[in-house]
Structure 1
Amino acid sequence: MSQFTKLTAVAAPMPASNIDTDIIMPKAFLKRIDKEGLLDGLFHDVRLNKDGNERKNFVLNKEEFRSAEILVTGPNFGCGSSREHAVWGLQKRGIRCLIGSSFAGIFFDNCANNGILAIVIEPDCASSLMQELSTNESKSITIDLEAQTIKTPSGTVIAFDIEPSRKEKLLKGLDPVGLTLKSKDKIKKFEEKYFKQFPWLA
């Protein structure tokens, strides 16, 4: 997966609480085992009217947020089922970072395993950031993962915490397979020793 180091991009506010994975990626788009069609599915039922035309009031349909690579979300974003397709759909849309006061646990881990940085900040900070994005002419913010900071459109700097192991994975672009392969020499030595001890298993 791609590395995440520093990102300056448009951020879109999505303040609703409890946006679940069925809203992010409806079950009708889970029929395939690959990632084709997931861009069409992303936020499908809230992004489009029944006739297939865009809903003008949906944030990512607004001209100033169409290029957003960051979402500032309400609490408990990504709750519901554990479908990884929700994260894949966000990736297809070009979303690289989520900022919110809380995320559902499995969704939070799926983000890190697929290269999306999910940042947890205090509820008051999240509300203030959304207010800025709604009123400030600039919609761009800067995320510095190494420094663990968010720079808002007004220039305010917000510090955030992140688990060291999660930070390392994102900085180095290591998915679970890549993380395992960091220990490939140790794995090889274990295999050699193990199969000498139990040769009939080789």
Structure 2
Amino acid sequence: MISFDRKLVKIKKVTGVEEFKGDKRDYGCSVRIEWVVANTILDEFDKHARTAFYERDTGKPAASAEGQGELSLPRQDVELTKRKCINVVTPLHFVKELDGYEITFHRGATEKSDIKLTEVRLDDFVGDPQEGGSVLMSCNAYMKPAAEVRGYIDHMSKTEIEITLTPPSEKQAEIKLPKESKKKAAAAKIGTDADPFANSDLAQDETRIEA
């Protein structure tokens, strides 16, 4: 799961989203965040992505798309740091949506100034693999802030701020079956535990033999 604690990110833009449910109007906003992270994050989207775009650094200068040599500063916290497929157009767009997140905007030195929101949805993930083992990631975080904090979030656009991103707990992520589905599952279990030959010709034959 994607998560981080008090990480400095860039707020690319904040877009207001109005939703109408009958006569009622609901307000939400989509916050585009951008951050730099180790390329191991690619494993969250596709298990082949990291090995497709990175390999072990041999110590030789890497070549840019123009064929010129570049000095790399490989990360120490990842295994594959040398960029591959330099002629492939990036960034990469990932098909993934994550629900139930909690996001905290750390606006000041104390927790009193924090803005904490739950039930946040993350989507529209984009990753740009960088030389040295880093990836420039970005995504949309959709949330429904209370009226008293909307202005604070709107004014974060084009700024950098520390945020904490917390994934949902396992209990929150559990899929709750409808009551009808639960009844069917219980009935299926009862049917599995019962005698599979009950009321069959074979069962009747056994009754005759015992008689």
Going by fraction, where is strand more abundant, 1 or 2? 2
Please confirm whether the aligned pair reaches a TM-score higher than 0.5, indicating the same fold.
no
| Higher CA-based Rg | 2
Going by fraction, where is helix more abundant, 1 or 2? 1
TM-score (norm 1): 0.27
